[in-house]
Amino acid sequence: MNQPAIEVNGLQKKFGKQIVLDGIDLAVQKGEIFALLGPNGAGKSTLINILSTLVAPDAGTARVNGFDIVSNKEEVKSSISLTGQFAAVDEMLTAEENLRMMGRLSGLSRLDSRSRAKELIEHFDLTNAARKRTKTYSGGMRRRLDLAASLVVHRPILFLDEPTTGLDTRSRRALWDIILHLANEGVTVFLTTQYLEEADKLADTIAVISKGRIVAHGTPEELKSRIGKEMVEFRDDNDEIIREIPTNGSIHEIKQILEEVAFATPEGTRISIRRPSLDDVFLSLTSEKERIL
């Protein structure tokens, strides 16, 4: 079998006493779009920062483009592009200047930097603003420029940390198109997102991360079929959900569920039947709540 583009085994990271990554295993195949989906603080940026060699792991191993992220750092760096969670462009420069500077820093000639900047400005629909200082840009324009900046040189693997957070629907769609286009050209894309819809639209494979652990993994279809069922929901007298059981919705099955759990249900418990949305699934996978039943 082909070697994966990214391979992670037992990766761990602590900051002080806080365990931020608690044994991550995953593999991303060449040319696929992989989405790491998780809420604030789940460990998404930490994982991206480790895989892009900005942060060292405490334990475990990872290979990116076949290179070990600790012992072959330089080879990893020259295999990847990274668009971090926070803008990395110089606000006092124009888009054109930022992109040319990036080209020069990556070793392109003056001429090549100039033509690459021109190409990216057109591709990312920044032509009208190309000569304005980027501090005057809207969030969407900055994000497009950020992405353009990480594509000045062609690399086989692209890391995108929450590429569309804070963007309106139109800018988000435009970025999705760009990401899909890159993947079509054979780039392996590893992105993080808090939006299930985004993972669903873009990804070949999704891993859900919660509190430093991968809690679900599969194609969007696999995850949806796991969660696309109706649920019998049990709530306590504070209206908190204490248990959810998937059901096909038939009277027969619901009757069976009620008979099975009735004896273990506290006084005041109420039930309802609900068809979960994708967001519900995500929330239930990453919920802090302890299930008491």
Ligand X SMILES: Nc1ncnc2c1ncn2[C@@H]1O[C@H](COP(=O)(O)OP(=O)(O)OP(=O)(O)O)[C@@H](O)[C@H]1O
Q: Which residues bind ligand X (CB under 6 A)?
A: 15, 20, 38, 40-46, 85, 194
Strand partners, 66: none
Contact predicate 81/24, CB 8 Å: no
Which positions ≥6 away from 101 have C-beta within 8 Å? 90, 93, 113
Q: Helix 95-105 and helix 110-123: axis angle, to 10°?
A: 130
- Please, what is the minimum distance in Å from the beta carbon of residue 179 to Mg ion? 18
Name the minimum Å distance from CB 15 to ligand X.
Answer: 3
- Token code pair at residue 224: 């949806």
- Residue with Cβ nearer ligand X (45 or 164): 45
Minimum gap (Å) between residue 247 Cβ and ligand X: 32
Cβ closest to ligand X, residue 85 vs residue 247: 85
Residue among 20 and 232 whose Cβ is closer to ligand X = 20
CB of 214 to Mg ion, least distance (A): 16
Among ligand X, Mg ion, none, partner that 78 touches (CB below 5 to 8 angstroms by kind): none
Binding partner at 46 among ligand X, Mg ion, none, C-beta below 5 to 8 Å by kind: ligand X
- 270 φ, ψ (degrees, to nearest 5): -120, 155
Binding partner selected for residue 15 from ligand X, Mg ion, none, CB under the kind-specific 5 to 8 Å limit: ligand X
Count, residues near Mg ion per rule CB under 5 A: 3
Q: Which does 43 bind (CB under 5 to 8 A by kind): Mg ion, ligand X, none?
A: ligand X
Smallest distance, Å, CB 209 to Mg ion? 11
Tokens of 278: 């994708």
Q: Which is nearer to ligand X, 42 or 99 (CB)?
A: 42
Binding mask 176-215 for Mg ion (x = CB under 5 A): ----------------------------------------
Contacts to Mg ion from residues 42-101, by CB under 5 A: 44-45, 85
Minimum Å distance from CB 213 to ligand X?
A: 12
Question: What is the distance between the alpha carbons of residues 27 and 243, in angstroms, rounded to a whole number?
Answer: 33
Report the partner that residue 20 touches, choosing among Mg ion, ligand X, none (CB closer than 5 to 8 A by kind). ligand X
To ligand X, the closest distance from the beta carbon of 283 in angstroms equals 15
Q: In terms of residues, how long is the chain?
A: 293
Spatial separation of the C-alpha atoms in residues 27 and 213, rounded to whole Å: 15
3-state SS string over 35-82?
A: EEECCCCCCHHHHHHHHCCCCCCCEEEEEECCEECCCCHHHHHCCEEE
CB within 8 Å of 2: residues ≥ 6 apart: 29, 30
Specify whether the CB–CB gap between 213 and 38 falls below 8 A.
no
Residue that has been written with the tokens 């629909």 in this structure: 125
Instruction: Compare residues 4 and 57 and give the one whose CB is closer to Mg ion.
Output: 57
Per CB under 5 A, residues contacting Mg ion are: 44-45, 85
